[in-house]
């Protein structure tokens, strides 16, 4: 049961860190506007594929989960 408590605290801290980062506005200038992100605009239609941003988030989450699993 102690492991579950530690996991919940870690997840809560991670959510708080992401919320603080988003609230501060630091990521607004680059997050979602990376060179690999695809953006089309034609007339009144706008299509956006954040490919590079998704890859970056996936790598960061995989690394974080790997580090949490390695501590056990």
Check pLDDT > 80 for residue 17.
yes
Give dist(CA 35, CA 44) in Å, integer.
23
Q: What percent of the chain has pLDDT over 70?
A: 86
Indicate the average pLDDT of the chain: 82
Q: What is the pLDDT of residue 55?
A: 92
> What is the average per-residue pLDDT within 34-45?
89
Separation CA 64–CA 70 (nearest Å):
10
**45 is written with which tokens?**
């239609």
Listed residue (49, 20, 25) closest to 37, CA to CA: 49
Q: How confident is the model at residue 72 (pLDDT cuts 50, 70, 90)?
A: low
Residue 1 predicted with pLDDT over 90: no
Q: What is the pTM of this model?
A: 0.58
């Amino acid at each position: 049961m102690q492991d579950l408590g530690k996991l919940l605290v870690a997840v809560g801290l991670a959510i708080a860190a992401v919320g603080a980062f988003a609230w501060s506005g630091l990521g607004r200038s680059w997050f979602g506007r990376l060179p690999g992100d695809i953006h089309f605009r034609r007339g009144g239609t706008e299509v956006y594929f954040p490919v590079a941003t998704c890859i970056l988030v996936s790598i960061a989450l995989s690394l974080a989960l790997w580090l949490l699993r390695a501590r056990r």
